[in-house]
Amino acid sequence: MINDEILKEMTKSDFDQAYQKALFSRILSRLKGETNSLLSFQEIMQYIKVKNESYIGMQCVKIDDIIGSEGRYNDFNKEFLPKRKMLRSRWEKIDEAHYQDKILPPIKLYKLGEAYFVRDGNHRVSVARKQNREFIDAEVIEIKSNIPITPETTKSELLEIVISFEKIAFLELTKLDQKRDTSKLNFTFPGRYDELMIHIHGHQYFLGIEKKKEIDMNTAILSWYDNLYVPIINAIEEENLLYRFPGRTSSDLYVWIIRHWDDLKRKYGNKVKITDAVRSYSKNYGTNPIKHYMKMIKNFLFKR
């Protein structure tokens, strides 16, 4: 039986070591330009389409396969090291239970693909990692989707996978790639291809009013691409807008400019031209590239 005073010193030392290691890991990650954060379960769920959900009961889960959290993703890094000193009290109590060989309730996890996200038990995972445990008992709910997720999947990789799946689905539905070059039809954020479908349906409706007849979907798709999408993309390229929006694509700007154009037309009337909307959007929301990179350097050097 460990003396209470010694036990207290041991758990305090364990937390201090874990916290300092998290701090060092954060600094190292910034130097490498990498992220050291846990994935947010809620954010991931915004990107994927769920097929079904089922309770699969008690499992012995490999701790390295736990890559995110439902509610505490800002409190621990991706190695489940504590990032905040306010976690000390609860963390040390669980660490103390470990030294006393007390049996703690199983944690609760969501399983997505081959990876897991904590529903309840973040501190227990953190302590288990500190104590070099390889596995942990967990109650698991499995969520199946069409997106493959592994323990090695990062947020940026997941976004790329989701966007790729969305583009495939869009092209399967529209067959646009069979008639037009869609190699530059790319986004940097999920959900945009669904937005394109809304634009196409709206274009189909107004084209029908203009032509005074029903317009089939294939005709609407090509008309939207040739008479709305391409002219805006051309205007974006002519104004060299991508220079003012680092890391974005012409398709990203198309979506934002369409929204901005609608706002301008509501305010000033339907006579507002798309070229006016392009210039207005660039002026109001574009970034001075030099200031942008100076800000990045400042954040890198001084953000804590």
Regions of the chain where pLDDT drops below 70 = 1, 287-304
3-state SS assignment for residue 203: helix
Q: Rounded to the nearest 5°, which phi and psi values hold at 116? A: -130, 150
> What does the pLDDT read at residue 138?
97
- Contact predicate 139/108, CB 8 Å: yes
Determine the Cα–Cα distance for residues 40 and 231; give it in Å rounded to an integer. 38
Gap between the Cα atoms of 99 and 83, Å rounded: 23
pLDDT of res. 283: 82
- Could you tell me the pTM of the whole model? 0.75
- Angle CA(173)–CA(147)–CA(79) in degrees, nearest 5? 155
Taking the C-alpha atoms of residue 277 and residue 235, their distance in angstroms, rounded to an integer, is 10
Contact present, 180 and 224 (Cβ < 8 Å)? no
DSSP 178: G
Instruction: Tell me the C-alpha distance between 25 and 80, whole Å.
Output: 11
What pLDDT, on a 0 to 100 scale, did the predictor assign at position 146? Answer: 82
HSE-CB at 200 with a 13 A cutoff on CA atoms is 20
User: What pLDDT shows up at residue 287?
Assistant: 65
Q: What is the model's pLDDT at position 246?
A: 86
Angle at alpha carbon of residue 189, lines to 185 and 192, rounded to 5°: 60
- What is the dihedral sign for C-alpha 119, 120, 122, 124? negative
Alpha carbon distance 93, 88 (integer Å): 9
Interatomic CA distance for residues 295 and 279, integer angstroms? 24
Strand order in the sheet with 66-69: 39-40, 66-69, 115-120, 107-112, 135-145, 50-62
Can you give the length of the chain in residues?
304
Q: Which amino acid is at 34?
A: E
